[in-house]
Amino acid sequence: MPLTEPGSYKNSVNLPQTKFDMRANAVKREPEIQAFWNQQALYEKLAGSNPGEPFVIHDGPPYANGSLHVGHALNKILKDIINKYQLLRGRKVQFVPGWDCHGLPIELKVLQSLKPEEKQALTPIGIRKKAAVFAADTIDAQRESFKRYGVWADWEHPYVTMDPAYEAAQIGVFGEMFLKGYIYRGLKPVYWSPSSRTALAEAELEYPEGHTSNSMYAAFEVLNLSPELVGPFDPFSGELGVAIWTTTPWTIPGNLAVAVNADLVYSVVEVGENNPTRFKYLLVAKDLIETLAEKMGTTLESKASTMGKLLEHCTYRNPLFDRTSEIIIGGDYITTEAGTGLVHTAPGHGQEDYLVGQRYGLPILSPVDDGGIMTEEAGPFAGLNVLKDANPAVIAAMKEAGSLIKEEAYQHKYPYDWRTKKPVIFRATRQWFASVAGFRDGALKAISEVTWIPAQGENRITPMVAERSDWCISRQRSWGLPIPVFYNEATHEPLIDADTINHVQAIIAEQGADAWWEMSVAELLPEKYRNDGNSYRIGTDTMDVWFDSGSSWASVVKARGLSYPADLYLEGSDQHRGWFQSSLLTSVAVTGQAPYKAVLTHGFTVDENGRKMSKSEGNVVDPAIVINGGKNQQQEPGYGADVLRLWVSSVDYSNDVPLGRNMLKQLNDVRGKIRNTARFLLGNLHDYNPATDAVAYSDLPELDRYMLHRITEVFDEVTDAFEKYQFFRFFQTIQNFCVVDLSNFYLDIAKDRLYISRANATRRRSCQTVLAVALENLSRAIAPVLSHLAEDIWQFLPYSTGVTSVFESGWVKLDEQWRQPALSDKWTKLRDLRGNANQVLEQARMAKMIGSSLESKLLLYVEDAELRSTLEQMNQATGNQVDELRYLFLTSQVELLADAAPLAELEHKSETIGIAKADGCKCDRCWNYSTRVGLSTEHPLLCDRCEEAVG
């Protein structure tokens, strides 16, 4: 019974079969895949049993405060991509995630949550208990977020800086530094935050726009001139004042000198009308006379001049305190860019002032208390707040003394406490310091031995370390690791040595740092000091949190037996001044080497317009919403972690990394394209078993061998991209491979082979052989980035691979014999020709002459003899049913022309290609046109090819 009903042969075609879903359905599917990984304990298994060397990225600890933002996601996903790549390459990856727990922000949050009366009753230990709970809760929440990103790590055993073992190791780092003489106690001006009542590190400051200071020009009466100037300046005696300028009038009580630049020229000027001061003459830098006259609204007539160095040892009187001080020589920091060229110097309130004061043996006067209130030493100003009423009071007093020249609002950058957002002051207090000077050379040498990626990182951190001053490591807060020091009650001398440190370290190792506040002094002291006739109290300072995280190379990398130095530190570029530096300094101080072999940095996330993300701009992207979707699922669909991860791979993170809705949508499309390509491959392998059906390389058609060559090119490129941490190259290459090489070219051609041939035909099996290679390697290659998709694909492979997870399958597998550059040359030409043919086919299609390209016959004239010969070989009646022009062009017939003349008669054509209607009728099964359709009595609707395949 002949089949004459069109469509009857649909069931005889080998269509793709797979249960692998076209849609990612990531919100639901990803957690299932993660559960599978957990259940298989894959990370633990591979980290333990992989054959290669250990590989350690040492995690920079995020602060256990608040929820994760997209910057956290960028950082941790980058680490995970590298770790997974190394796992696939067979390395024993050991990734211990960390959290930074101590510090003011958490302490403030705890305090803010309390009622006033509760605050009153709170002891240090009370704050600590609450802060620890807060940090632990935050860690739990952040850990769940990181896990949802698909990040692999030893999540059950993270490092947390409040862990007793961590704290004890940190005490060990401190102790070794102390015993090497790198830790000292000093009275120095430090950044002091009255609002937090603590000293701050440079890394804890910010310089917001728009700070306005109440600046003041003032004059101090000159008393005695230096010997060199007695003669020349005598005429001005008794009527001369030195003009100074300050943006912080409240520091006048601390004034102990006026500094000049030895190499500048200074002039005595006579003040004209409207003189606001009681001085007829003022001393000012020559270059600033005009500026000052303008500000004063008067004339200043130069009467005499001198070099700055001759001014040294002139004396003047502080008008507010009746104190006599000297003019001294400062340094190059004194310029004529602003002010008067004579610098008010208060060694207790400024870094330069302190240094120059040391040279002249000046005392350190800092009549300000912890809260920023003037002390008794400030005489009439006692009780005033330096950031509020002290400035106007000083200015008023100066005015009354006839010393005020001018008061002026001055806008400049001024340091603020980055947590309380309040201004800080410079104030001398007793603090503990790490002497960077003691190991600076070693640090610089260590820096030069580290691999910095990108290389500019070295240029960045080198001057920071070369120029930084000693590191103030003490803080006057409760939530931190104590500085393990005792003070003699009678003499106030500190007590600290190897014995006290070891004793305290042992206690903390067992009971945690709370013991410092909970145990008696006697218990905390080692035996030999308990009854030595003195009585001691504990120090209440805690350590700078940068010392906490900076010690992690010891408390984590070394303590857990990971490879030290670590293979890689990977953080945002801001950490050049933060963690990279604090880790380096402590490590060099103790061990003499850097804690890392390489440092990789990434930029900051910005929005799609390149602007910084900020809540007030409303351009913040929340990673949780990217994954699970927002309230409005239309506008903010849940893309899953893979799209977030794909984003990380797609951008050049050495720069700013943009992210926004539009990008996410496009990235989702890319993920979809990769997924669907994989789905097609899976579907067409449903009846394929590589063990029995694979075709030997030597038996493969040339097209397939070309494709295998192309696969070596693609995956070489991808491998190189991972090796060089240039993941955007992976992204571009994989996308291009899926779209251009597979979908548009090889797979489009493959359909005829896969669907139409007999199931076991060589032209079908050879194609499947290539598909399986492509699919398995695609899964491996995307696994570090699109981890969930890769695993999803692997689980749907229709044949046994011998491993349960893609992550156990190793990195991409390429056979050396596949590399055939000559094939690439030839097939690149053929693909170009195919592109030309498509353009002409499109002409015919637009004109409605054809719909499907199979409705046409392609006429082709090629001038190039070599190529023409190639094409002739590919257009024989006895071809291998693969390397044939009709299949390359997806037309039913191809006719090679001896010359271009016949093309002239055709309606749709180019110089060398023309389109005609295909000969014969459409075969109901393969949809190709053929003159053989209708010749079979049994299958009148089929062409000869299909008749054979069906029969």
Partner RNA sequence: UGGGGUAUGGCUUAGUGGUAAAGCUCUCGGCUGAUAACCGAGCGAUCGCGGGUUCAAUUCCCGCUACCCCAACCA
Shortest CB 408 distance to RNA, Å: 11
- Per CB under 7 A, the list member of 670, 707, 778, 933 interacting with RNA is 670
Sign of CA dihedral 454, 456, 459, 460: negative
Identify the CA nearest to 154 among candidates 26, 85, 57. Answer: 57
CA–CA separation, 741 vs 475, rounded Å? 61
Shortest CB 670 distance to RNA, Å: 6
Phi and psi angles of residue 214, each rounded to the nearest 5 degrees, phi first: -90, 80
User: Which residue lies nearer to RNA by CB, 576 or 710?
Assistant: 576
Identify the CA nearest to 53 among candidates 92, 95, 94. Answer: 92
User: Which residue lies nearer to RNA by CB, 274 or 634?
Assistant: 634
Residues 6+ apart with CB under 8 A from 159: 59, 61, 96, 97, 98, 99, 166, 552, 555, 556
CA–CA separation, 446 vs 553, rounded Å? 15
User: Which residue lies nearer to RNA by CB, 169 or 283?
Assistant: 283
Stretch that binds RNA, among 142-150, 295-303, 541-549, 645-653 (CB under 7 A): 645-653
Burial (Cβ within 10 Å: 0-12, 13-18, ≥19) of residue 50: buried
Phi and psi angles of residue 699, each rounded to the nearest 5 degrees, phi first: -95, 0
Q: Which of residues 5-34 bind RNA (CB under 7 A)?
A: 7, 9-10, 13, 15-16, 22
Shortest CB 428 distance to RNA, Å: 13
What mask of x and - would describe binding to RNA in positions 428 to 467, judged by CB under 7 A? ----------------------------x--xx---x---
- Per CB under 7 A, the list member of 196, 306, 573, 768 interacting with RNA is 573
Shortest CB 18 distance to RNA, Å: 9
Stretch that binds RNA, among 146-154, 199-207, 314-322, 930-938 (CB under 7 A): 199-207
User: Which residue lies nearer to RNA by CB, 190 or 481?
Assistant: 190
Number of neighbours of residue 618 by Cβ within 10 angstroms: 8
User: Which residue lies nearer to RNA by CB, 756 or 814?
Assistant: 756
676 sits near RNA (criterion: CB under 7 A): yes
Strands 425-434 and 471-472: antiparallel
Q: What secondary structure letter does DSSP report for 620?
A: P
CA–CA separation, 348 vs 430, rounded Å? 11
- Per CB under 7 A, the list member of 298, 335, 881, 912 interacting with RNA is 335
User: Which residue lies nearer to RNA by CB, 360 or 487?
Assistant: 360
480 sits near RNA (criterion: CB under 7 A): no
Number of neighbours of residue 692 by Cβ within 10 angstroms: 8
Shortest CB 689 distance to RNA, Å: 21
CA–CA separation, 244 vs 246, rounded Å? 7
Stretch that binds RNA, among 179-187, 197-205, 221-229, 866-874 (CB under 7 A): 197-205
User: Which residue lies nearer to RNA by CB, 142 or 251?
Assistant: 251
User: Which residue lies nearer to RNA by CB, 135 or 657?
Assistant: 657
User: Which residue lies nearer to RNA by CB, 102 or 675?
Assistant: 675
Shortest CB 12 distance to RNA, Å: 8
Identify the CA nearest to 352 among candidates 335, 371, 376, 374. Answer: 335
Number of neighbours of residue 196 by Cβ within 10 angstroms: 22
- Yes or no: say if 467 and 386 are a contact pair by the CB < 8 Å rule: no
CA–CA separation, 365 vs 357, rounded Å? 11
- Per CB under 7 A, the list member of 212, 299, 666, 828 interacting with RNA is 666
695 sits near RNA (criterion: CB under 7 A): no
CA–CA separation, 794 vs 808, rounded Å? 11
Facing residues of 430 across strands? 187
CA–CA separation, 704 vs 699, rounded Å? 10
User: Which residue lies nearer to RNA by CB, 445 or 673?
Assistant: 673
Strands 471-472 and 257-260: unpaired
The number of angstroms, rounded, from the C-alpha of 14 to the middle of its chain's C-alpha atoms is 49
Shortest CB 795 distance to RNA, Å: 18
Strands 596-602 and 451-453: parallel
Number of neighbours of residue 319 by Cβ within 10 angstroms: 21
Q: Which of residues 828-857 bind RNA (CB under 7 A)?
A: 835, 838-839, 841-842, 845-846, 848, 851-852
Stretch that binds RNA, among 62-70, 517-525, 655-663, 711-719 (CB under 7 A): 655-663
Shortest CB 349 distance to RNA, Å: 6
Shortest CB 110 distance to RNA, Å: 26
756 sits near RNA (criterion: CB under 7 A): yes
User: Which residue lies nearer to RNA by CB, 507 or 833?
Assistant: 833
Shortest CB 185 distance to RNA, Å: 22
251 sits near RNA (criterion: CB under 7 A): yes
72 sits near RNA (criterion: CB under 7 A): no
- Yes or no: say if 509 and 165 are a contact pair by the CB < 8 Å rule: yes
User: Which residue lies nearer to RNA by CB, 107 or 855?
Assistant: 855
Facing residues of 307 across strands? 265
Shortest CB 74 distance to RNA, Å: 12
User: Which residue lies nearer to RNA by CB, 166 or 245?
Assistant: 245
Q: Which of residues 589-628 bind RNA (CB under 7 A)?
A: 603-604, 606, 608, 610-612
CA–CA separation, 588 vs 553, rounded Å? 11
Task: Using only the alpha carbons of the chain, give its radius of gyration.
Answer: 39
Sign of CA dihedral 372, 373, 374, 380: positive
User: Which residue lies nearer to RNA by CB, 143 or 286?
Assistant: 286
Can you list the positions of beta strands (E) in 755-847? none
Q: Which of residues 919-948 bind RNA (CB under 7 A)?
A: 924-927
Shortest CB 699 distance to RNA, Å: 25
Shortest CB 133 distance to RNA, Å: 30
Classify 326 as helix, strand or coil: strand
736 sits near RNA (criterion: CB under 7 A): yes
Q: At what angle do helices 727-736 and 702-723 cross, to 10 degrees?
A: 160
- Per CB under 7 A, the list member of 729, 758, 829, 868 interacting with RNA is 729
Instruction: Please give the C-alpha separations between residue 903 and each of 895, 911, 912, in angstroms, as whole numbers.
Output: 11, 8, 8
482 sits near RNA (criterion: CB under 7 A): no
- Per CB under 7 A, the list member of 476, 563, 655, 881 interacting with RNA is 655
908 sits near RNA (criterion: CB under 7 A): no
Residues 6+ apart with CB under 8 A from 757: 14, 763, 764, 881, 949
Q: Which of residues 203-242 bind RNA (CB under 7 A)?
A: 203, 205, 207, 213, 215
- Yes or no: say if 908 and 921 are a contact pair by the CB < 8 Å rule: no
User: Which residue lies nearer to RNA by CB, 448 or 662?
Assistant: 662
- Yes or no: say if 788 and 26 are a contact pair by the CB < 8 Å rule: yes
337 sits near RNA (criterion: CB under 7 A): yes
Stretch that binds RNA, among 100-108, 169-177, 364-372, 660-668 (CB under 7 A): 660-668
User: Which residue lies nearer to RNA by CB, 335 or 502?
Assistant: 335
Stretch that binds RNA, among 28-36, 264-272, 651-659, 872-880 (CB under 7 A): 651-659
Number of residues that bind RNA (CB under 7 A): 107
Residues 6+ apart with CB under 8 A from 599: 450, 451, 452, 453, 457, 568, 569, 570, 580
247 sits near RNA (criterion: CB under 7 A): yes
Q: Which of residues 386-425 bind RNA (CB under 7 A)?
A: 410, 412-415
Q: Which of residues 341-360 bind RNA (CB under 7 A)?
A: 341, 343-346, 349-353
